[in-house]
Amino acid sequence: MIFLNNCQDNSSPPALLCPNTTSYSPNSTYSSNLNALLSSLSSNSSRPNGFYNTTVGDHAGSELVYGLFLCRGDVSTNVCQNCVSTAAKDVTSESYCPNGKVAALWVDECLIRYSNESLFGTPTRYTFVNTQSVSEPQRFTSVLGNVLDELLANVAANVNGNGSNRSLKIFATKEANYTAFQRVYTFAQCIPDVSVSSCENCLRTAIGNLPSDGRRGSRVLLPSCNVRYELYPFYNVPASAPPPVRDAPPPFSPGSTGRDRGKFYNWEVDKSLIELNLHFF
């Protein structure tokens, strides 16, 4: 199970990955390297493209820490900076992932990841799935499929529009009516520097791993891209879009991780915490 922390504002609950399969001691070399990495992520969070990845530690040793942040493509530099700084402080706290060598914290405005293995050399896929379903799954799946097709085309156009400049943000958003009173909101993003084909292939894989049974929301995270959809706006909706009807959040469910983590939204992860693909991007 993945447990999503209840936010006190109007933002969505964060998606947290904390496998706890490997851990480090508080005063270990890995702990020092992780602290240095998180500090580096925070200090580089004002980058215009909203992305940064780095490695900390002795490359000849076994305590290397790999990490990155990626801010949502539509947020300002100030929002990105605040989000990364906060996430970097929170992720190792008792409420999230203390002493874990692998973690991913995905909030509305940014995501941060770190691991004791290369983030781009390991074929990992993280899938977060809302446990609640819509009332008309077939209709919803049809609408969502059409929206995601347009979303993918918009991202590809974004990559092509950047021309030879691969350092710019690569993302797109798309909304559509699911019912007369409810809309579905979708978002897709690739990391900067990827090629058109790599971005498209990554997003196709991510979209292909979204649930097809009418779940009310889902997020898929791959090393080079991510895709998300919800029944409420979680990004800056264009001014031309009609005013949305806010979807009711999932009910509270207490965490069951052995630590007092307060109230958490209960989501499930697809099959396992970490799924290996035949290909990675």
d(C-alpha 89, C-alpha 104), whole Å = 13
Cβ atoms of residues 72 and 189 within 8 Å: yes
Q: Which of 229, 129, 218, 145 is nearest to 184 (CA)?
A: 229
Helix segments in 21-96, DSSP class H: 29-43, 77-90
How many residues can be counted in the chain? 281
pLDDT at residue 278, rounded to an integer: 28
Q: Which two tokens stand for residue 198?
A: 């790599």
Given a cut of 70, the residues of the chain with pLDDT beneath it are 1-11, 122-123, 160-167, 239-281
Q: What pLDDT does 168 receive? A: 83
Q: What pLDDT, on the 0 to 100 scale, is given for residue 18?
A: 94
- Per-residue confidence (pLDDT) for residue 185, from 0 to 100: 97
Which residue reads 């207490």 in tokens? 254
pLDDT recorded at residue 164: 56
What domains lie within the chain, and their CATH numbers? 2-119 (3.30.430.20), 128-247+268-276 (3.30.430.20)
- DSSP-derived letter for residue 23 is B
Closest CA to 227 of 208, 252, 212, 250: 208
Phi-psi region of 211 (alpha: psi -120 to 50; beta: other; left: phi over 0): beta
In sequence order, the 6+-apart residues with CB closer than 8 A to the CB of 162 are 168, 170
Which helix (H) or strand (E) element contains residue 114? strand 110-115
Q: Where does the chain have alpha helices with state H?
A: 29-43, 77-90, 137-161, 196-208
Cβ proximity of 212 and 249 under 8 Å? no
Please, what sign has the CA dihedral across residues 54, 82, 98, 224?
negative
Kindly give the pairing relationship between strand 65-71 and strand 110-115: antiparallel
Quick one: which of 193, 185, 187, 186 has its CA closest to 159?
Answer: 193
Q: Give the per-residue pLDDT at 210.
A: 96
